Structure formats: structure tokens, C-alpha cells
Amino acid sequence: MAQKEASKKEKLLTGANMWSAVRKLNFNDERNNPVMFLVYISAAMTTLLFVLSLFGISDHIVTSGFIITVAIILWITCWFSNLAEATAEGRGKAQAATLKASRKDVTAHKLADPDQPEQYTDVAGPTLNKGDYFLVKANEQIPADGEVVGGAASVDESAITGESAPVIREAGGDRSAVTGGTTVLSDTLVVKVTQEKGHSFMDKMIGMVEGANRQKTPNEIALEILLVALSIIFVLVTASLFTYSKFSAQLMGQHNPISIVWLIALFVCLAPTTIGALLSAIGIAGMSRLNAANVLAMSGRAIEAAGDVDVLLLDKTGTITFGNRRASEFIPVAGHTAEEVADAAQLASLADETPEGRSIVVLAKKQFNIRGREVGHHQYHFVPFTAQTKMSGVDYQGIEIRKGAAENIQNYVEQHDHVYSDECKNAVEKIARQGGTPLVVTKDYNVLGVIALKDIIKPGVKEKFADLRKMGIQTIMITGDNPVTAAAIAAEAGVDDFLSQATPESKMETIHQYQAKGHLVAMTGDGTNDAPALAQADVAVAMNSGTQAAKEAGNMVDLDSSPTKLIDIVRIGKQLLMTRGSLTTFSIANDISKYFAIIPAIFMNLYPPLRVLNIMGLSSSTSAILSALIFNALIIVALIPLALNGVKYREIPAAQLLKHNLWLYGVGGLIVPFIGIKLIDLIITPLLALL
């Protein structure tokens, strides 16, 4: 897969990331991160103070060696912040590089008339415009995104999805969309271009993966505003402390009791630099994790919304069930045996290539060891299923065997003056009540019994829904089945509610009703008839194999076309919010601890009683300030892996999760600086004599 290849390349990008972080140390890049921009200004001011100290312009409280040491630490702090963002962007660039390598400009067979595919003109693929038609043959790459309007072919989409198994794309239905960069393996297709130049699916994907199109989400902007407000407050606090200290010094007959460099250090330690440095990386990494799951988000807002979702609308077919009904039981009636039913059903299904037909053959073999037979065309005449008869079967040696829907079989039997018994009716009704599909089997117009076809629930689905329920997420199954069948499957799967006999209008109305109650709703879809509901949903995941209308209506595209991916997307979204919240808690708790290191160190010369607050037992004012600054820088780089990989996802109620995070990241954030700053103090104290 492209993502796996990208993760291998990530190790090779370490040097590039470090250099990229250096390049970001410029005014234009730094001002995009307001909190770290203030640290950037602080580093520049300290550097200027060092230059002035070389010319004897200094407050004479600190040495030039101390000033340049503080300046270097502040520049390194800015560099660590840039390194976090550069590393997160590096992941995306590695993924994008793989995608770019798979894309190449190809020649397109442009059609003037889509009804005359044999008459085409060869043009460069990038010159195709929206609305143009082109022909693509076997073993040729599809030059642009489009909708199949003619033909059917096997298509290799591994360049996009990473899956080696080819898929079928054909005109009409919900499997008609094709993506530029994929390859036709067999037959030919006539395709209508659906995207403008430079806005193809691959272009959008590369842009999102690189992070070039990433916009800050509302929650991210709100948190950034809060951090900026706190930083401005601390700027005012620091400035007022300088004024107050000068006033106090005059009263006490002292001169310049506090250095400007100390106050700069105080501001940097007071400001929420940890979360400020990591905030952008958290958002980029969230997008990267979604890309690694083979999901393309059209905006960061969609990922964030996924974390707040509390209602999931899930298709029954392919998500909750395997998607194909399978034979589960042979039920005899009228004195016949289950083996007789199985024997007749198996013979009638030998030419039935549908999943249901194959499952009947498998069940007969499993239960009664009834195996396939030699069925030469001269002896056996197979009757195919049709939408009109709703029956199929076989005629051989004057014997007629049929299997089909109960109502149609009843008409078939009674037309030939045979009895459709109440016992058979009861068996059919029982299967329907249990959520299954009954197929009645006859031999020479006599009813032998009933085959129970059942939607097989996927293993682990019920437990997965139970986990979602713990998180406060309601699950709703969408199905076209009748209410009785839908209720039985919903009960077995463990979903909270269901929408039966679903239509595009009923899906959209259901979403609207939940949204009106204040819920955030997510759903998946792949067809044109899903587009209205996808457009209405807060998180709309369109299948890559679906129609162009569905992909345009959704705010995410699942490249694997897996209906179960919605659950993974919600997990990734919640992990993003958890990571941001946890690191914010840790950052603020960190700052509180740093106060105890740096405030007593700065003011204890002016106010000796403040020495009692030096609870860490730091050796000197200089050591305390440098230790706090070094810790402030190192904690950023130490938390980069957590910001990139995310806080471990826990499927527990929100209140319990909040309590856990407050203890782990709140209390932990208070304790870690005491340990870290004290250790740094012990290390650097012997070195301070050199300053």
C-alpha cells in the first residue's frame, strides 16, 4: 500500500525534517503560530541584548555568557516547535511522493461522439476538460476522473487503494466512477470526464496528504485564540513585574534588581509553549493517520466532527452483515426429511452461481455429504431465476424441481392442483419473523420443505457496537428489508435502532431529525440515491467505488470502499480530540510547576522571604532559570511522538475518560517538571562557572 511504503520512507526523512525546521525559522512562517511567534521574538530580543552586551550596553546583572545561553535555548525551542510540524508534514510528503510516482501523464483517446468509440483522437491526458469523453482500452491507464457511460471492464485501483484485487467498473448503477491513475485490465470503457483540470481526485489527494490544503479547524482556532489570550496576559504580567520591581528597588535603595533577560525567560516559561508548539503537528498527524487508514478527508473539519459524532447511520449490508444471504437450515414439511429437501435443493442449485445458490450447495455437503453430480446438458435442463417467476430449478428424467419465493411457489403448486400446506406457511412465517429469507423447495409440484436463508452477522460486530454505546454513540442500522426482518437483524447485531425499507428521503429525514435534537450524525454511502443524505450528514463517508455524485456529496472518501471504515474514522477523530485535549492539559499543568522554579529564582534577591518557595532546592537563580528554559524546550521534543501517534484510544464513557486524562496528564504535568528541572539543575550547576 502507498501508506506502508510512505511509512518506510519516513525514517529516511529525518535529516530533511531537521533542515525543514531550520528553514521555518523565518518571520513569515513563524507568525503563523502566534504563541511560538512570541518565543521567536523573545529569542531575537535576547540575541540583540547579547550583541549590546558585547559593547558594554548591559544591565550588569547577568553576564554575556548567560545571555547568549538563554538566546540559544530559545532558538532551539523555536526549532523544536518547527521540527514537530516538519515531522508531521514529512509523513504526508512521503505518502504524496508515492502517489506522485504512480501518476504519469498518459495519452487519452478523446471521443467526439461517445456513441462512436472507434473514432477517436489521441491527445495528452492533462488537456481533457470536464464534459469530454474518452476511450480507454485494456492495459491502459485512465487519464482523468470520470463516469463510465459505456462498457464494463476490470480495473486495477492498487495505485489508489493499495488493494491488488481488480474491481469491475461499468456503465449505470453505483459502480460507474473511475479515477485517473488507475489501469484498465480487460475490455474497454467509454468515460465522461467529471473534474476540471488540476482538480482530479489524485490532485486533491496529493494536496491533502501533503498538508498543503489543510485548514485549521474551528476547535483548533478556538484553542489557538485562548493560547494567544493567555500569552498576551503573560506579556502584560511580565511588563508589570518589571515596572513594579524597579519601583520596589528604588524604595529599598537597590539598583536594577531584575534583568530583562530574566523577564524574557519568565514569559517563555509562563506562556503555553508546549501545546502551542505541538498544536499544528497534532492536526497534521490526525490527517496523516486518516490517510494511513486509506481515507481521504476533504477538510480537517470533517476529522474533528468525526470525533464529536454521537449518532452513526450504518448500512446493514457489508457493515453489519456479510452482504450475501446464506443457507442456514433445511426445514422439511409434509412428512419429508431434511435430507430430501437438501438433495433437491442442491440439485436445483448446481447451476446457480449466486452467493445464495453456492451456500445451498455448501450446506447440503456439510450436513448430509451430498456432493456435486455429473449434469450433462442432454440429461439436465436448468431453469434460471427470473424477476418475473422468482424461481429457479432443474428438469431431468421427467422430474421437475423448483426453489423460490414462497408466494410464487404457492401459485406454481396450486396451478398444478397440488396442496400448499399450512405447515409450509408456518415454516415460512417463522423464518421471516427471525429475520431470514425463506425459499420453498418442490419436487413434481409437491412441497418438500423450506430453505432458511439468513443474513450472517459479522463476528465481533455486537461487541463493537457495545463499545460505541459506552462512548455515548448511538448506532442506527439502515436497510431496505421489511420491519419484521430488520427488527430481528437489529436485535441480533445489537444496534440501538433501525430504519427499515429505507429510501433517500427517509434517510435524509432521519438525519435531519437527529440533528434538530442537537446530535452530530455520520453515515456512509456509495450510490447517487445516497447523495442527499450524505450532503445532510455532519460526517459523510463516500465509497471510492461509488458514484461521482456520492463522492462529491461526502466530506470523506474511503479508498477501500469498506462500509465498516466509518467506525475507524470515528475512532481517529476522537483520538485527535483526545490528543489535543490531553496535551493542552499537560501543557497548562507544566506551566504551573515551572512557576515554582523560576519566580522564586527571579525575585528572591529582591524579596528574600520568597526563598521559601524554592521547594525544588535549586542551587541558584541562574541555574533555576536555565533549568526551566531547557526543560521547556526538551518537553516539546519529548512529546512529538505522542503528538504524531496520538493518545491511546480508550472506549470508555466521556466522564470516565475526562477523569483518567486529568489524573494522567494533569497530575502528571504537575509532577514531571519538578523531576525534570531538578535533574537539569544537578547537571548544569557545575557548568555555570564557565559562564
**CATH code, domain carrying 538:** 3.40.50.1000
User: Would you call 481 a catalytic residue per the annotation?
Assistant: no
Assess whether pLDDT exceeds 90 at residue 285: no
Residue 1 has what pLDDT? 40
Structural domain that includes position 23: 15-94+210-291+571-690
Q: In Å, what is the CA distance from 523 to each residue of 22, 311, 545, 590? A: 43, 9, 16, 40
Task: Give the active site residue among 310, 315, 558, 568.
Answer: 315
> Does 58 carry a binding-site annotation?
no
Domain assignment of residue 239, yes or no: yes
What is residue 13's DSSP assignment?
G
Residues 266 and 410 in one domain: no
Span 502-520, average pLDDT:
89
Q: How far apart are CA 562 and CA 570, in angstroms?
A: 14
Q: How far apart are CA 584 and CA 283, in angstroms?
A: 13
What is the pairing mode between strands 446-457 and 437-443?
antiparallel
Residues 85 and 178 in one domain: no
**CATH code, domain carrying 158:** 2.70.150.10
Task: Count the neighbouring beta carbons within 10 Å of the beta carbon of residue 644.
Answer: 22
Domain assignment of residue 296, yes or no: no
Element (H, E) at 570: helix 565-603
Residues 137 and 167 in one domain: yes
> Taking the mean position of all CA atoms in its chain, how far away is CA 44?
40
> Does 526 carry a binding-site annotation?
yes
Sorting pLDDT into bands at 50, 70 and 90, what band is 464? confident
Domain assignment of residue 47, yes or no: yes
> Does 340 carry a binding-site annotation?
no
Residue 5 has what pLDDT? 39
Residue 206 has what pLDDT? 65
Q: For 20-73, write each residue's pLDDT tens digit.
A: 888 889 998 898 889 999 999 999 999 999 999 888 777 667 788 889 999 999
Residues 599 and 675 in one domain: yes
Q: Of 408, 431, 456, which one is at a domain's C-terminal end?
A: 456
Domain assignment of residue 645, yes or no: yes
Q: Lowest mean pLDDT of 10-14, 78-82, 104-108, 447-451, name the range.
A: 10-14
Share of the chain above pLDDT 70, in %: 86
Residue 130 has what pLDDT? 87
Tell me the residue type at 678: K
**580 phi and psi angles, rounded to 5 deg:** -65, -45
Residue 12 has what pLDDT? 36
Domain assignment of residue 590, yes or no: yes
Q: If you average pLDDT over every residue of the chain, what do you get?
A: 82
Assess whether pLDDT exceeds 70 at residue 137: yes
> Does 388 carry a binding-site annotation?
yes
From the list 566, 563, 564, the residue with the least C-alpha distance to 574 is: 566
Q: How many structural domains is the chain composed of?
A: 4
Residue 4 has what pLDDT? 41
Q: Lowest mean pLDDT of 113-122, 450-459, 546-555, name the range.
A: 546-555
Span 634-645, average pLDDT:
90
Q: In Å, what is the CA distance from 230 to each residue of 44, 122, 235, 425, 659? A: 21, 62, 9, 74, 24
Residues 586 and 464 in one domain: no
**CATH code, domain carrying 441:** 3.40.1110.10
Q: Lowest mean pLDDT of 264-278, 524-538, 636-650, name the range.
A: 524-538
Assess whether pLDDT exceeds 70 at residue 550: yes
Domain assignment of residue 102, yes or no: no
Cell 498544536, residue?
A: 279
Assess whether pLDDT exceeds 60 at residue 3: no
> For residue 564, how many C-alpha atoms fall within 13 Å in the half-sphere facing its CB?
14
Element (H, E) at 208: helix 201-210
Residues 285 and 360 in one domain: no
Residue 629 has what pLDDT? 92
Q: For 405-460, write each residue's pLDDT tens digit.
A: 888 899 999 998 898 999 999 999 888 877 778 999 999 999 999 999 887 787 78
Q: Lowest mean pLDDT of 156-165, 479-488, 645-654, name the range.
A: 156-165
Residue 36 has what pLDDT? 93
Residue 371 has what pLDDT? 74
Domain assignment of residue 200, yes or no: no
> Does 403 carry a binding-site annotation?
yes
> Does 648 carry a binding-site annotation?
no
What is residue 141's DSSP assignment?
B
> Does 549 carry a binding-site annotation?
no
Residues 401 and 430 in one domain: yes
Q: Of 417, 437, 456, which one is at a domain's C-terminal end?
A: 456
pTM above 0.85, yes or no: no
Residues 591 and 543 in one domain: no
> Does 130 carry a binding-site annotation?
no
Sorting pLDDT into bands at 50, 70 and 90, what band is 104? low
Assess whether pLDDT exceeds 50 at residue 396: yes
> Does 391 carry a binding-site annotation?
yes
Residues 47 and 117 in one domain: no
508 compared with 284, residue with greater pLDDT: 508
Q: For 211-259, write each residue's pLDDT tens digit.
A: 544 567 777 888 889 899 988 998 888 888 777 776 665 665 555 567 8
Sorting pLDDT into bands at 50, 70 and 90, what band is 531? confident
Residue 451 forms beta bridges with which residues? 330, 439
What is residue 397's DSSP assignment?
T
Residues 234 and 281 in one domain: yes
Domain assignment of residue 257, yes or no: yes
Residues 177 and 235 in one domain: no
* 3-state SS class at 350: coil
Residues 359 and 285 in one domain: no
Span 99-104, average pLDDT:
58
Residue 373 has what pLDDT? 63
Q: Of 518, 538, 559, which one is at a domain's C-terminal end?
A: 559
